Amino acid sequence: MAAAITQKDQSSIWWVFLLEGIASLIFGALLLTSPAATLVALVIFLGFYWLFVGVLELVRVFVDDSVPWYWSLLIGVVGIVAGLIVLKHPLFAAVALPTALVVWLGVAGLVIGVFSIIAGFTGGGIGSFVFGVINFVIGLILLGSPMAAAIAVPLVFGILLLIQGVVLIVWAFRVKS
């Protein structure tokens, strides 16, 4: 019965899934056909977003007491500074942000790998051990050449967005009927 209710609710907003799918296809195609320009445009958008959120957080210091004022102040200052840096140096940010993402993923791969290898030796089985080794090796590869891996970020996200777009469009028409 609950599945029927969920299906009914989603059928009334099928067009949201369709629009999300179309947007995913557009951004995925842009990342694949013009990765540098698309990445710079997304980074500029991110810079404006951080700037806007930073200003709103500073306003929040004076109008909202549900959050300690120092958190809003800190978030506001960091948001404004990050937004201004990104907007002043968009090409640098377009290289630095994907590289930072790759470094973060590399560190996460090492940590997950180590814990999974330990789990494999403490009763997790061979699957946990193999999963750990794979994650550890991926972490080493990413950290061994973060700039080269960062170049692949637009390609990877472009492909993922295309896949997501197709899935969302198929889902939209499936829940519509």
Tell me the residue type at 107. V
Residue with tokens 């991926």: 138
Per-domain residue ranges for the chain? 21-176
Residues 6+ apart with CB under 8 A from 64: 72
pLDDT in tens, the chain (177 residues): 445 545 557 788 889 999 999 999 999 999 999 998 998 998 999 999 999 999 999 999 999 888 899 999 999 999 999 999 999 999 999 888 889 999 999 999 999 999 999 999 998 888 889 999 999 999 999 999 998 888 888 898 899 999 999 999 999 999 888
Please state, in angstroms and rounded to a whole number, the distance separating the CA atoms of residues 35 and 39: 6
The pLDDT value given to residue 107: 96
The pLDDT value given to residue 148: 87
Q: Check if the beta carbon of residue 107 is closer than 8 Å to that of residue 143.
A: yes
Tokens of 21: 């799918």
Residue with tokens 């929040």: 60
